[in-house]
Structure 1
């Protein structure tokens, strides 16, 4: 029997902060100190932020990320806040690998990270580098400036690939965009030309595994979405004030069920294909001794039909 995780009782300090009862304290002057040694110690480090606190705990990130990076013996992690962890690297090469090979995720949910800085930028830990595939642009519009203009509202466009490497296909173009973690992801954009002609496009985020189906944010799933909670509350009161909002939430519920079915489908397909491969290795005599076993070709076809 699966039991829900027992909710941790808030501490007195947490209750005071939640009630905004932590008053301003006295001012204390700190003398100038030599901190160059600490700055140097932290210069080869990144700060990682939990975007989805319901599935990401700081201690879990400290344990999970070094193996994901393949650096168990070359990086040291520690918690540095309620939703943040710091990882100190032994080399600049490892640091740059983590900074440039993202985005990174744990349990399917994204985390944001930035190199530690004594004076962090205003958007510190609020950007994730996504390679975005753009589909729908006509051939005569495949120019770098067009892609940069189309994706500019999503964030800073760092790089554009008009032609996929080692491929002759023009099915899509790619762009590396630093997307704002606080805003909903956009999966469709419409390009409007000066002539008034509009071109609908679809955006696919590479490595993206999970997102809220209702509001398209990275910070929670649909079961914890504020819009979903509002919908439930209105349903209980018998008041549905915004029909468009209601349709949006209902569509997200249907999509959630469809996602569950796809997960089950993939599991069944993998099992059937595994069984088909194992049958190929058996000789006819061995196959006859196994009751009720279908042929490997039939199993493969069954896997495709499901």
Structure 2
């Protein structure tokens, strides 16, 4: 038995080709139609975030229990399938979200995701301590580019600003660290520090400021420990490897552009020139002849140098990034925001149509119209001392408005009037007394509650007031001296 098995194993080959399985291209094997109303995402720190708990708890957090179901695709990736388009869009409009205080990356499902799928999130960043003489849209955009690709800038130079920061919306790469501050060199040898605060971001690594791990598992900490161990063992330090060059000798742009012009920007963390722009320059140089080669080289150098003078031109032309959108809503993306000023309403309330009325407001208006109709029909105009139809509008006029019977003035505005308790006598003293009624001679009274036909015994009929006692007349027991009786 063992000899036959050994012989069979010897005939097998580890290098035998394994033909791949071809998936049938049929509708019943594809779920693309169901995935159209879904979003996919991934955990930024799977070691601190439970996938099973996230699948069950996120519908409750979104307040959409029964209208969405979650699917765990792996230990890191997940999918949520919605029943309606409205719920899907509402969840995505919430912006950056967290679970167990660590971030999530979510985006709408696509059949063919690109290489940058689940790599970027939208963050609102607050920029503080901007120099006084540099409060412009261009400066704010440039300072926001130090964090990520600026998508929107909230700034209005014509309106008052009661916050000590400005807000920008950036497209942030989750593999990059969250910058806390940056030293800015100003003209005439001056310098200042600009500070950044990221809204809705909770936990991060204290060492490298990334949202993908804790400090104990930070690669910088582990590398430092590893380097210290090697230095102690070998008695030398590890030599850092140089980064790979972008322009090589066989590149048509070699010698035309410098390496620092096409490499990674040290502050932005993104290429100085987009790969598509570089490829267009290469094609432009390949088509050059011996006569116009020098002219084309000079044209590329002058164009790149001119674009590098203006940071916004470098952003739009060289990096091919869309220009930021300028907004005047200072609370955009914050959700419901409380404020006394009507201009400080949240973006969610401002997005509602102006013609919509609340139910209570419509009821008050309907009652007011009905009251006006009654007074016009019955001719009651001018009979009321107070116009109660305006009470509801006056009560909402402001903190110093006055309405009859509702509020009274105070040192800090208006406050609700509280009435004092009535001083009333005891219950026994508040019982009504019966009215005194004179009884005519010969009148028979019927007791209260007695059936009809039973009459009360006659009292003395001396014209006295009913209710007073009358002395009973007793017959004399001795015959008076008037003679013998006739009996």
Give the TM-score, by structure 2 length. Answer: 0.41
Helix, strand or coil at the partner of 1:227:
helix
Name the structure 1 match of 2:178: 185
Name the structure 1 match of 2:208: 215
Name the structure 1 match of 2:193: 200
Residues 65-97 of structure 1 deviation map (CA, whole Å, 9 limit, x = unaligned): 222222222211011123111001122222122
Name the structure 1 match of 2:40: 47
Which residue of 208, 214, 221 corresponds with 1:228?
221
CA drift of 1:153 comes to: 4.2
CA drift of 1:119 comes to: 1.2
Rounded Cα–Cα distance in structure 1 between residues aligned with 2:86 and 2:137: 30
Residues 34-81 of structure 1 deviation map (CA, whole Å, 9 limit, x = unaligned): 379732211111112011011113212212222222222221101112
Q: Which has the higher contact order (CA 8 A, sep 6+)?
A: 1
CA drift of 1:232 comes to: 4.2
Residues 80-115 of structure 1 deviation map (CA, whole Å, 9 limit, x = unaligned): 123111001122222122212121111111111111
Which has a greater percent of strand? 1
Rounded Cα–Cα distance in structure 1 between residues aligned with 2:31 and 2:175: 31
Unaligned runs of 5+ in 1: 1-22, 243-306
Residue 136 (1) aligns with residue 129 (2): yes
- Mapping of 1:1-306 within 5 angstroms? 26-34=19-27, 38-162=31-155, 168-192=161-185, 198-233=191-226, 239=232
Contact 1:142 1:162 in 2 (8 A): no
Name the structure 2 match of 1:17: none
Which has a greater percent of helix? 1
Contact 2:40 2:77 in 1 (8 A): yes
Unaligned runs of 5+ in 2: 1-15, 238-487
Rounded Cα–Cα distance in structure 2 between residues aligned with 1:133 and 1:34: 48
Rounded Cα–Cα distance in structure 2 between residues aligned with 1:222 and 1:64: 27
Rounded Cα–Cα distance in structure 1 between residues aligned with 2:195 and 2:17: 49
Rounded Cα–Cα distance in structure 2 between residues aligned with 1:64 and 1:241: 52
Contact 2:46 2:75 in 1 (8 A): no
Helix, strand or coil at the partner of 1:154:
coil
Contact 2:45 2:213 in 1 (8 A): yes
CA drift of 1:197 comes to: 5.2
Helix, strand or coil at the partner of 2:65:
coil
CA RMSD of aligned residues (A): 3.1
Rounded Cα–Cα distance in structure 1 between residues aligned with 2:17 and 2:114: 26
Task: Tell me: CA distance 1:217–1:38, structure 2 relative to 1, closer, same or farther (3 Å).
Answer: same
Residues 186-218 of structure 1 deviation map (CA, whole Å, 9 limit, x = unaligned): 112344567775442110001111100011111
Rounded Cα–Cα distance in structure 2 between residues aligned with 1:85 and 1:24: 34
Task: Tell me: CA distance 1:25–1:67, structure 2 relative to 1, closer, same or farther (3 Å).
Answer: farther
Helix, strand or coil at the partner of 2:144:
helix
CA drift of 1:139 comes to: 3.7
CA drift of 1:237 comes to: 7.3
Give the TM-score, by structure 1 length. Answer: 0.63
Helix, strand or coil at the partner of 1:129:
strand
Rounded Cα–Cα distance in structure 1 between residues aligned with 2:81 and 2:196: 35
Task: Tell me: CA distance 1:217–1:91, structure 2 relative to 1, closer, same or farther (3 Å).
Answer: same
Rounded Cα–Cα distance in structure 2 between residues aligned with 1:167 and 1:84: 45
